[in-house]
Amino acid sequence: MRSLPVLLAAALAVHPVAHADTGPTTGVAQLMILEPGDASYKLFHGAVWLDADKATTNYRWGGLQCKGRELSDTSVQLLFAAFRAEYQVAVEFVISEYKGKQYRCLTGFTITKS
């Protein structure tokens, strides 16, 4: 039987841990939630645009573009509440690649009152 450190090292070699980056602390400009009946749902399940970079960037979750990067219903509700109350948000994200294009995939966020 292999030791735990050997098994852990082997697992990390096969599945590298993605390092999350942090976006700017800013307001939420727009929030998009897709339902299973939407044509784009298989690609992603939702996206958020931030005031700081809304013209060029969105942060997505779920689907083929952000596989394994789902947001819970509670997290989506918290994002909406931050949008509605005009609180500041800093997002955590990883870069994912799907069909040769890169996407910023949301892995978490911090909400602050300005």
Instruction: Write out pLDDT tens, residues 54-80.
Output: 999 999 999 999 999 999 999 999 999
- Least Cα distance to 75 among 33, 23, 21 occurs for 33
Residue 30 has pLDDT above 90, yes or no: yes
Residue 103 has pLDDT above 60, yes or no: yes
pTM of full prediction above 0.85: no
- Least Cα distance to 67 among 91, 43, 47, 49 occurs for 43
34 within 8 A of 40, measured Cβ to Cβ: yes
Mean pLDDT of 28-46: 97
Q: How many CB atoms lie within 10 A of CB 8?
A: 11
Mean pLDDT, the chain, rounded, equals 87
Which architecture characterizes domain 19-112 according to CATH?
Beta Barrel (2.40)
Of all residues in the chain, what percent carry a pLDDT higher than 90? 79
Q: What is the pLDDT of residue 20?
A: 81
